[in-house]
Structure 1
Amino acid sequence: MTLSEEAHERLADVVALQPTKNKELMSRWGMESGSEVHQYLESELKEYYFRDENSLIRATPEAAELVGVDPGMEEDEEGRRTLRLPDVQYHVVGVVPGPDEESASVVNVLHRLREAGQDPPIEDVREALRSLASKGVLETVKRTVPTYRLAVPREDLTVERLDD
């Protein structure tokens, strides 16, 4: 199957962001709904993606080879993870508490980001935290409001920022 230039670029996004959700791709691709993302995936990229047991979108190994992009998350033999993340997620990982620290709320993470010189909208922070939790990078601690902290030691992570 020959891909258009747009489909090739979008497949590269799927590979780089995996595991991902419709909402994350919707934002990246400037689409109006998750349904629109699903329709695009099914009509243009059906051979190159699948949904895992948690309904997260993942690219096939063939897709990664076709577009020449490293997957969004890789783990080595010692359990260290390499993450390739969009801008807000990249900065969130840098400020979220470690696994042995008290977890932080969305608002607290936003304040930490501002102290670090970033000022994303709170909805972007909330979505970044949810996405990182679904990828297993963050642990969600239920208190009065959901709070977050790293699920793995910081030294076991290598974080790279994806180009937007």
Structure 2
Amino acid sequence: MTLSEEARSRLADLVALQPTKNAELQERWEMDNGSEVHQYLESELKEYYYRDEDSLIRATPAAAEELDIETDDDVVRVPELQARILAVLAGPDAEPQSVVSVLHNVQETGLDADPDAVRSGLRSLEDRGLVAVVQRTVPTFRLAVERETFTVEPLGEPAEAA
């Protein structure tokens, strides 16, 4: 199956962001809703993705082959906001932080963010196993692994819609 330039670009996003959700791809691909993402995946990338036991979207080994890339489990490719969250979030042995605390730390780095975006970013990083939730009166967060065990490569801004 020959992929269009757009499909290859979106497949690269899927590989980089995995495990991911419809909402994350919707934002990245500037689509109107999760159904549109699902339809695109089914019509254009069906042989290159699957959903794991938690319904998260993951790339098949054929996806990396198609893109002729080697995967590196130590490199974490995430959107800019998530990269900033990982940079400022309390370590695994530190006191966990609330969403608001993380938001303020992210804003101190010069990135304009809102609480919903930070909460969503924290949850996406939790899905990847990089962030742990410590349940208190409100959920608090800290890194699930030592910072030295991964390298962060921020992804560029979402591509302009064609």
Matched, 1:112 2:105: yes
Provide the aligned C-alpha RMSD in A. 1.3
Where does residue 59 of structure 2 map in the other structure? 59
State the identity as a percent: 59
SS at match of 2:53: coil
Give me the whole-angstrom Cα distance separating, in 2, the residues matched to 1:39 and 1:46.
Answer: 10
Verify the 8 A CA contact 1:16 1:69 in the aligned structure 2: no
Q: Does 1:46 align with 2:39?
A: no
Q: Answer yes or no: is 1:122 the counterpart of 2:106.
A: no
Three-state SS of the structure 1 residue aligned to 2:112 is coil
Q: Partners in 1 of 2:109 and 2:22 — Cα distance?
A: 29
Question: Structure 2 length as normaliser, TM-score?
Answer: 0.91
Distance in 2 (alpha carbons) for counterparts of 1:68 and 1:54: 27
Task: Return the TM-score normalized by structure 1.
Answer: 0.90
- Once superposed, which parts of structure 1, at least 4 consecutive aligned residues long, lie more than 3 Å away? 68-71
Superposed CA deviations along residues 11-62 of structure 1, whole A, max 9, x for unmatched, are 1110111111111000001111111111110111101101112111111111
Amino acid at match of 1:151: A
One-letter code aligned to 1:90 = A
| Count of residue pairs brought into register by the alignment | 157
Q: Which residue is 2:83 aligned to?
A: 90
What displacement does 1:69 show?
4.4
Deviates more, 1:91-100 or 1:33-42: 33-42
Q: Aligned to 1:83, what secondary structure does the other structure show? A: strand
Unaligned 5+ runs, structure 2? 158-162
How far residue 8 of structure 1 moved from its aligned partner, in angstroms, is 1.3
Contact 1:110 1:119 in 2 (8 A): no
* Residue 151 (structure 1) aligns with: 144
Residue 26 of structure 1 is matched in structure 2 by 26
Question: What secondary structure, in the 3-state scheme, does the structure 1 residue paired with 2:81 have?
Answer: helix
Aligned equivalent of 1:78:
none
Task: Structure 1: give runs of 5+ residues left out of the alignment.
Answer: 76-80
Q: Secondary structure at the match of 2:54?
A: coil
